[in-house]
Amino acid sequence: MKALIIDHYKDDLHLAEVPEPALGEHDLLVDIKAASINQLDAKIIDGEFRQILPYTMPLVLGHDLAGVVTAVGAGVTGFSVGDEVYARPRDHRIGTFAERIAVDQADVAPKPASLSFEEAASLPLVALTAWQALVERGNVQPGQKVLIHAGAGGVGSTAIQLAKHLGANVATTASAKTADWVRSLGADIVIDYRSEDFSKILHGYDFVLDSLGGENLEKSLHVLRPGGKVVGISGPPDPAFARATGLNPVLRLAITALSAKVRRQARRLGVSYEFLFMRASGQQLTELGGLVDAGVIRPIVDEVHPFDHTPDALAALTKGGHRGKLVISLG
């Protein structure tokens, strides 16, 4: 079958013929109709996570899919051939830039009935990230103040909608040209990141979702009330992540050192920092699908590209300036 692969880290993404997926006992074989591109794909190509998330080469990229089930393993329950589904396959089983994929049933959910395949494919990774940050880590409650950085991006645009559904007062950072658009998603306050310093404007926030890291993360600590929390999805990884992923003692020590500075700053301010590397969950995607069909969350698809244009679309994503997601259609 056709797939888009890299042969080595830092290689160009290119089209190749690869073996058909092997179907495990609890797997669904899915004919992929659409996939979407994420910053995580670019970071894996660059080798940014090779120490904590090593992959065997050659590697088929891609973390989101929507498609149709064409076969099921002997132990599968709840899914049948012909079902329309969407998923973010778990780490070490990615590969949605391909014609077909075998996915563990625990990672799969019914495709929201109100969405096209292209719209559904835009959601899994960003929606799961938003859910796990705001609901699991943040326990966001009605009336709380939430700051979501990069509100026009894939994660940000989804997180704004979810935070608003949870009853939060939502601030976001965005460019002036996208300000009205992010307000239409539910943002109450929009900070122009090019001309304004959010850390001098916002105060007393309960929760921050940071997707940028670095100086932006450090500034985010200062907008929190005592006891508030920043969840970062660009790093640095923290000791809890190292323990949860079972890394060896040397890597755990290295990761502890990487995040030591920001954790010390957080302690001095009476706040906390946690790193989130989202995980696959068909159960959460089912809940999110219900919110989509109820009109609470809508997918944000900026552009749809044909399958063989995926390398160009990935290059465009890394340059920024897009609203929501870039999607790949396999027809």
CATH label of the domain that carries residue 214: 3.40.50.720
pLDDT score recorded for residue 101: 98
pLDDT score recorded for residue 150: 96
Strands 100-104 and 27-37: antiparallel
pLDDT score recorded for residue 30: 98
* 117 lies in the same domain as 65: yes
Domain boundary among 231, 259, 275: 275
Give DSSP secondary structure letters for 6-34: ESSTTPPPEEEE-PPPPPPTTEEEEEEEE
* 19 lies in the same domain as 153: no
pLDDT score recorded for residue 322: 83
* 134 lies in the same domain as 116: no
pLDDT score recorded for residue 81: 98
Q: Which domain holds residue 174?
A: 126-275
Give Cα separations from 232 to 80, 109, 148, 270 (angstroms): 37, 26, 11, 17
* 101 lies in the same domain as 150: no
pLDDT score recorded for residue 255: 83
Structure tokens at 135: 């609901």
Is residue 117 one of the residues assigned to a domain? Answer: yes
* 183 lies in the same domain as 307: no
pLDDT score recorded for residue 179: 97
Tell me the C-alpha distance between 116 and 111, whole Å: 9
pLDDT score recorded for residue 83: 98
Amino acid at 59: L
Is residue 93 one of the residues assigned to a domain? Answer: yes
* 96 lies in the same domain as 69: yes
* 183 lies in the same domain as 93: no
pLDDT score recorded for residue 254: 85
* 12 lies in the same domain as 91: yes
Tell me the C-alpha distance between 167 and 138, whole Å: 13
Q: How many domains does the chain have?
A: 2
How far does CA 247 lie from the centroid of its chain? 22
* 149 lies in the same domain as 263: yes
Is residue 289 one of the residues assigned to a domain? Answer: no
Is residue 290 one of the residues assigned to a domain? Answer: no
The length of the chain is: 331
Is residue 74 one of the residues assigned to a domain? Answer: yes
Intervals of the chain under pLDDT 50: none
Is residue 268 one of the residues assigned to a domain? Answer: yes
pLDDT score recorded for residue 55: 93
Handedness of CA 130, 133, 135, 141 (dihedral sign): negative
The residues, ordered by sequence, that sit 6+ positions from 213 with a Cβ below 8 Å of its Cβ are 232, 234, 235, 236
* 27 lies in the same domain as 64: yes
On whether the CB atoms of residues 83 and 282 are closer than 8 A, the answer is no
pLDDT in tens, 59-86: 999 999 999 999 999 999 999 999 999 9
pLDDT score recorded for residue 78: 93
Q: What predicted TM-score, i.e. pTM, was given to this entire model?
A: 0.96
pLDDT score recorded for residue 43: 93
* 82 lies in the same domain as 177: no
